[in-house]
Structure 1
Amino acid sequence: MVASALLPWVLLTGVLNGSTRGLLELRGRMLDERQLVERDRVRALAHRITLGLLVAAAIGAGAYSTLADAPLRAAVTPVLVGVLAAHWMMPLWVAALRVQDEPADDLADAS
């Protein structure tokens, strides 16, 4: 099952990286000031979203173990895998959703 999901995952990640023009993949010295500020904003927003997901996952796992009268261990592994995947990909998803057009060149406007 994991192998069948790997190809779409890789293709989607490539498309998202392409749409953000490498904002999260390039080193800081290769980005201008505007891109550095945008990357910092994206990372901060992604970490806030991931924190909310983690809190919701912890509450959900606790509620599941209480309501289903099952050991917490039964709910923890799927929750941890889901939150890890979200934490790993969240900056890229946020960057792809916030992507803006490049600013117009002054030389192109003058001609």
Structure 2
Amino acid sequence: MSKLSILFASAFVAVSSCAVHAAELTAESITKAIDDVSNDETKLKAYCAMAAKMDEIGDDDKAAEAAGDEIDGYFKTLGPDFESAWSGAQEAPEDSPQAKAFEDAMTKLEEKCQK
């Protein structure tokens, strides 16, 4: 996983209280949810802003706690499908198809933020 993905996972695993668990998510549904963010201008801007905020926060636990509401707002904009994919992928075994799909889709999404 990328550094950004690991930071998100460690800092905000509790952000989402999704009913959908990793076992219920397919690699295809994870990829679709993340691709939907990539293809929606508003969601893409929200994700890129969230990624920038996470880079700014780094490993600072106090800053992460202070930014909690802001991060929650980004997740609301990104939508429940993205949130489910995010949570499910974080719970999936590292070598699972879900984790691989998440990593691949997130890499593509992160590349769009750098353009």
Normalising by the smaller structure, the TM-score range is under 0.3
Greater relative contact order: 1 or 2 (C-alpha under 8 angstroms, separation 6 or more)? Answer: 2
Which structure has the greater CA radius of gyration? 1
After TM superposition, the score normalised by the length of structure 1 is 0.27
TM normalised by structure 2 equals: 0.26
